[in-house]
Structure formats: C-alpha cells, structure tokens
Structure 1
Amino acid sequence: MWGLCVAMGLSTIGFAGERFSSSVFINTTTRAFSGNLGTARNGSDFVSYLWCASTGSGVGWCHAKDASGVTASCVTTDAGMLETIRSLNSDSNLQVLYDNTGLCTYIYVATGSHFETKGP
C-alpha cells in the first residue's frame, strides 16, 4: 500500500507545473486561427498578435497576425460567441473558425495554469 501511495504522489509531482506555449497559428485555407495570448505577447518576433473585442451593442471581433505577417479576423453578433469573447483574458488560449464572408463560426476560450502567462 505504501508503495502505491508513493508512486501516486510521484506521478502527481511529474505533472505539476505543466506549461504549454502556443504561438499564433493561422490557416487561411481552413479559415482558422489560434494561440495563447501570453505566448503572442511574450514572443520575440514583435509582429504576432491575437485579440478579441466586443461592444455593448452586441458585436464582437477577433483578430490574429502570425510571425510571417499573415492576418485573419472575423466578426460576430452571436450571443454565445460574445459571451465567450468576454471570458477571454490575457492568459487564455483562443481558437477561432470563420467562414468565407468573415463571420466567426466558432470561438473557443480556455484559461488555465498550464497556458503561458503574459509577461511585462
């Protein structure tokens, strides 16, 4: 029993402090962009960005630019997507899909200790 407890404790320690960096990724063919806001902010390329905004009148936007200068963006008035945009913070992971007219079709936000945090 003691051996099992020790093994379980060590396996937990092995996963503690896990961190994921995810640079801005844009695929204009599949009309998708994603990344960690912290990784984009902390990047050394001084080109990449990733952000979303919303208004009180029910419109939201998401924008991305990768290290090579490729950009993508979309707009939404969908209440669920606006709520998701409003949950975004500087340490979040963002994933966005959009259609050929520039409308957002999917917005996913995840925030956790394993995502790279924004530096100064």
Structure 2
Amino acid sequence: MKKTGMMWGLCVAMGLSAISFAGERFSSSVSLDATARRFSGNLGTARNGSDSLSYMWCASTGSGVGWCHARDAAGVTLSCATTDAGMLATIRSLNSDSRIEVLYDSAGMCTFIYVATGSHFETKGP
C-alpha cells in the first residue's frame, strides 16, 4: 500500500511538471561574437524582430558548397563557408522556424553548425 501511494504521488508530480512546460516558447535574437567566432539565434525571432537589419540564413549548392550568414541589429555581419558533407546536411535540414548556432575559424570556414527545430522556438511571422 505504501509503495502504491508513492507511485501515485510520483505520477502526479510528473504530470504536473509536464503541464508546467506545455506551450513553452523561446525567443532568441541574432547574437554575434566575432572574438569567439560564433553566431546564433532563432530564424523566426530574426524575421519577427522590430529592427530592419537583423537576419540569419544558410544556403547550399548541389556542387557541395554551403554558407551561413548573420547580421545583428547594429548592422554587424559574420559568415562562413563549408564543403563538409555533415555540415551541408545540417544546413539542408533547416526550416524557417529553426534555431542555428555556427562556429567558424580564422579563415572563415565553418567548423560547427547546429540546427534545432521544435515547437518551443518562435515561429516566423508574415
């Protein structure tokens, strides 16, 4: 009986914690760090921002070249290029509501590209 009560309590606690995260949303504007050679942000937040300068995008070609670019509200831009098959696949997995994080080296070559897509990221408005 004592174990059953503990199990019910655990189930209720788990259910309440799930409810507290329902509909969670994250906004993340374009963030640039030239010293650390990185940029990141949510594509939806960049699109929906109140400034007219911020953007983020990545593109790839069928010949195996890809690029990622970002510009913040101050007009500062950072970008990198890649021919790495894994990073190209990551670029191709982007959609308009994704979050991206990019690291690059001193030669302007991308060294890491991270893409996440989920219901908790701000979606792109009109």
The answer on 1:74 being equivalent to 2:77 is no
1-side partners of 2:100 and 2:84: how far apart?
17
Find the aligned partners of 1:5 and 1:73 in 2 and give their Cα distance. Answer: 48
Deviations 1:39-93 (A, max 9, x none): 0000001110000000000000000000111100000001000000000110100
Root-mean-square deviation (CA, aligned residues, Å) is 1.1
Q: Which shows bigger deviation, 3-12 or 35-44? A: 3-12
Larger radius of gyration: 2
State TM-score, norm by structure 2.
0.91
TM-score, structure 1 normalization: 0.95
> For the residues of structure 2 that align with 1:15 and 1:83, how far apart are their CA atoms?
31
Take 1:64 and 1:82, find their aligned partners in 2: how far apart are those partners?
17
Q: Give unmatched runs, 5+ long, in structure 1.
A: none
**Which of these residues, 18, 21, 31, is aligned with residue 25 of structure 1?**
31
Q: Separation in 2 of the partners of 1:69 and 1:39?
A: 16
- The separation in 2 between residues aligned to 1:76 and 1:112, in whole angstroms, is 25
Structure-2 separation of matches of 1:61 and 1:100: 15
SS in 2 for 1:113: coil
Of the three residues 36, 39, 42, the one matched with 2:45 is 39
Q: Tell me the residue number matched to 2:18.
A: 12
How many residues end up aligned between the 2 structures? 120
Aligned-partner SS, 1:80: helix
- For residues 18-41 of structure 1, the C-alpha deviation after alignment (integer angstroms, 9 at most, x for no partner) is 111000000000110000000000
1:52 counterpart = 2:58: yes
Whole-angstrom CA distance in 1 between matches of 2:122 and 2:102: 19
